[in-house]
Structure 1
Amino acid sequence: MASSEVSSANNIVYQYYNCLILWRHKFIREDLWVRNGIILDPKMLFFDECKKPDIRIDCHGLYIVPGFIDVQINGGFSVDFSSHENVEEGIQKVAKGLLGYGVTSFCPTIVTSPRDVYHKMIPRIKIRNGSKDGAGVLGIHVEGPFISKKKKGAHPEDYIIEPSNGIKTVEDVYGSLECIKMLTIAPELPNASEVIKQLVQRGIVVSLGHSVGNVLQAEAAVNNGASFITHLFNAMLPFHHRDPGIVGLLTSSKIAKNRKIYYGMITDGIHSHPAALRIAHRANPEGLVLVTDAISAMGLPPGVHKLGQQSLTISGFTAHLTGTDTLAGSVATMPYCIKHFHKATGCSMEQAIEAATLHPAESLHIDDKKGTLEYSSDADFVMIDESFQILKTFIAGEMVYSCD
């Protein structure tokens, strides 16, 4: 193909019509315009370029929403990001599988592991754009080992440590911080404040979790730059009226100096009671971020599977450390989490979708391009019906999945 033909093909204008699009927090009956993988402003197209669409696509009354973003996912489809031998192959398998669930970008999550595992895995997980080959990788979420042993959850206690030498310990443990996008830390650990400051200066989103920290320690961490909470309610002190702990950050906007505090919630119907979801959502609806916390068994039948260095048993939608009653991540998919959240809280369809799109994008400071259908943003979007069923997934304007 000649270069002029390539240029012409790249400049094709697509018009998706007869649809409801999620536009600035509301579904409106409007068309979606796409060119070169970017969402267009039709007024500029008409008046500045005097151009009409090259291809018109009838959406038959479906909903168009931004592509889903999962900032905490440990694996899926038999792949565990903390122990998979062929890291690149594992990332590719999960990235491809996620397209069928409307996830267009994600943060592969590595749980508490030996130092050599981090040194092996982290350099081989690269940030990349999504395509027909799979969802985009936004960067790594390292969940541990700088957490509390008292709230370790499914994390192996032998590998949990403190940042005894501050940021130097962090660098020594991980080997490289280059592709780390989010890091979970317990705010009560020694040197946590200084570590948080330095991580934020390097552009890493700091999340608080797996902690017995009190509310003062949590607020101090926020003042030092922490802006996220890892799976709210799980692996932290329960709410107490005299010391609400990390949960108290839900209403701490003044402490956060008018910055939003975002918090992940695993809405699989198991990790948090519907009443807990309602309390969190009503206290801070704009900060809620749906995460799957999915493990290697997502998409697999019941049985025994691996999570990092440990074994777990799957029964229905429940995953436990083998031989215990300790919950070990989730096997629910993002569409299931959205649907359950919508039903459990009674929130609007728009709010349920934005908790898996706009809010995670905002928490990672990428909402200028992801998690939205605003003009000039990436054309990563999903066609769904009113029951949240994924019908088609698009990345950069290219259809990468169809239920047909």
Structure 2
Amino acid sequence: MSRSIRHCLSSPCSTDSPMNEDNPSYYLENVRIVDPGNSVSSGNALIRNGRIEALGIIDPAQVDSCERIDGQGRLLTPGLIDVHTHGILQYLYTTSRQDFLLACSELGQFGTTTILPTIVPQVEPGWFEQLSEIADAIPEVTSVNVPGLHLEGPFLAIKGSAAPTLPGDLKLLDEIIAACRGRMSAMSVSPETPNIIPVIDRLFENGTKVFLTHTRASPEQTEAAIEAGATHATHFYDVFYAPDEKDPGVRPVGAVESILADQRVSVDFICDGIHVHPTAIRAAIAAKGSRKVCLITDAVIGAGLPPDIYDTPWGFQIRVKEGDAPRHATNGTLSGSGLTMDEGMRNLLKWIDRPEHEIWGMGSTNPARMLELADTGAMKAGASADLVLWDFDLRVSHTWVNGRLSFQRE
């Protein structure tokens, strides 16, 4: 028996009155404040006019008109930032404008406050119009920050699940940039793709971040892409192959080693324990330091859904099972990632033996720094009030986006 993916989830969220107020203010007392990369300290937080107005000891006169929430000693962290996500629950960002907006509205329950909706280019009739429709919908989103889109392709050397493999083409790139309406934040490319350096140059000129992925590149090809302006590697280790062996017993060195050795490049991982072993994450932290490592979901349909079999738009069913990624219901092959950002954070806190504040940075401050998002992912007075209050079992209790309550667990 399968469930229609359209009518499968009763969400425990409530997003009523505070989201309808013009300038809601909140006083969070008795919380453990996580300042990623710096400290975890007990105190209070004041949210006003979409910003963190004060942290620590706060004058009671400042909070008379605020809604008070007793944190009871629970964690307050910056909101989570997902730079590689294709969808959530029953929605893909690319299915329709309505599904894009509905997907965005569901992210607060997972502690996600900023995303780069990730689109796999198809470069076929009607696709550019579809891309523009999604880009045009971004200003309508209020439940999560959307700085821009992430294009996974089309200039990739290895196909992966659905991405096309095309050589670098400046004319095609300019058409994609135009279709994004000035809202393309990142593009993922392969270092060994023919004619990729002019593409990276053009993206750099456009202010678009260049991610590396889907590759079997040599060190020379990888280093050339980095010199041209690539600064990040996405779903690191996944679809990152070693070059072909030249001499028996001599391990080939390729993109993975070149990226680990270069401090200019940050990396992100699908932290579900299925796509990447925790040892790989620990190795990257050892090579780069925790500030250069980010959490992503690479989520597709099925992420956040309860265990069951579901219909999909792809013409086959998927099986969602606790502790596993979505799989083809018939042949058992992986069908993308079912990770949510809150689950990824819980995994990292179990796997990584580093100070707690450093680990929280992998889901917030680090991606914000990589994307150069000012005042996002920060725990300081004046920063955007993108915050998550966690229950003691590290489930999301409350999520704020620009000071507005996007989720409250009932």
**TM-score normalized by structure 2?**
0.83
2:284 is matched with 280
Question: Cα–Cα, structure 1 residues 88 and 399, in superposed 2: closer, same or farther, change >3 Å?
Answer: same
Question: Cα–Cα, structure 1 residues 264 and 12, in superposed 2: closer, same or farther, change >3 Å?
Answer: closer
2:384 is matched with 378
| 2:153 is aligned with 1:144 | yes
2:43 is matched with 30
Secondary structure at the residue paired with 2:63? coil
Equivalent position to 2:101, from 45, 69, 92 = 92
**Aligned-partner residue type, residue 64 of structure 1:** L
1:295 is matched with 300
> Structure 2: how far apart are the matches of 1:11 and 1:169?
43
Q: Which runs of 5+ in 2 are unaligned?
A: 1-20, 244-249
**TM-score normalized by structure 1?**
0.84
> Structure 2: how far apart are the matches of 1:325 and 1:318?
10
1:235 is matched with 239
Equivalent position to 2:354, from 312, 325, 347 = 347
Question: Cα–Cα, structure 1 residues 342 and 13, in superposed 2: closer, same or farther, change >3 Å?
Answer: closer
> Structure 2: how far apart are the matches of 1:100 and 1:361?
20
Equivalent position to 2:117, from 108, 114, 121 = 108
> Structure 2: how far apart are the matches of 1:369 and 1:111?
29
1:160 is matched with 165
| 2:259 is aligned with 1:249 | yes
Question: Cα–Cα, structure 1 residues 395 and 173, in superposed 2: closer, same or farther, change >3 Å?
Answer: closer
| 2:307 is aligned with 1:314 | no
Secondary structure at the residue paired with 2:106? helix
Could you tell me how far 1:122 is from its partner in structure 2?
1.8
CA contact (8 A) 2:101 2:141 kept: no
2:340 is matched with 333
CA contact (8 A) 1:128 1:136 kept: no
**Aligned-partner residue type, residue 199 of structure 1:** L
Equivalent position to 1:217, from 217, 221, 230 = 221
Q: CA RMSD in A?
A: 2.7
> Structure 2: how far apart are the matches of 1:15 and 1:107?
30
Could you tell me how far 1:27 is from its partner in structure 2?
0.8
**Aligned-partner residue type, residue 67 of structure 1:** G
1:119 is matched with 128
> Structure 1: how far apart are the matches of 2:366 and 2:253?
27
2:401 is matched with 395
CA contact (8 A) 1:128 1:138 kept: no
> Structure 2: how far apart are the matches of 1:186 and 1:383?
38
> Structure 2: how far apart are the matches of 1:77 and 1:12?
29
Could you tell me how far 1:188 is from its partner in structure 2?
0.9
2:174 is matched with 171
Equivalent position to 1:40, from 28, 53, 68 = 53
2:11 is matched with none
How many pairs were matched up? 374
Secondary structure at the residue paired with 1:125? helix
2:30 is matched with 18
Could you tell me how far 1:347 is from its partner in structure 2?
3.1
Could you tell me how far 1:385 is from its partner in structure 2?
3.1
Deviation sequence 1:145-174 (CA, Å, 0-9, x none): 2111xx322125xx43112xx321222356
Could you tell me how far 1:315 is from its partner in structure 2?
4.1
2:193 is matched with 189
CA contact (8 A) 1:129 1:137 kept: no
The percentage of aligned residue pairs carrying the same residue is 25
Could you tell me how far 1:326 is from its partner in structure 2?
5.2
Could you tell me how far 1:277 is from its partner in structure 2?
1.9
**Aligned-partner residue type, residue 52 of structure 1:** Q
> Structure 2: how far apart are the matches of 1:24 and 1:339?
15
Deviation sequence 1:275-321 (CA, Å, 0-9, x none): 212212222221111000000122334435547x6756334222346
Question: Cα–Cα, structure 1 residues 326 and 207, in superposed 2: closer, same or farther, change >3 Å?
Answer: farther
> Structure 1: how far apart are the matches of 2:166 and 2:311?
26
Could you tell me how far 1:123 is from its partner in structure 2?
1.1
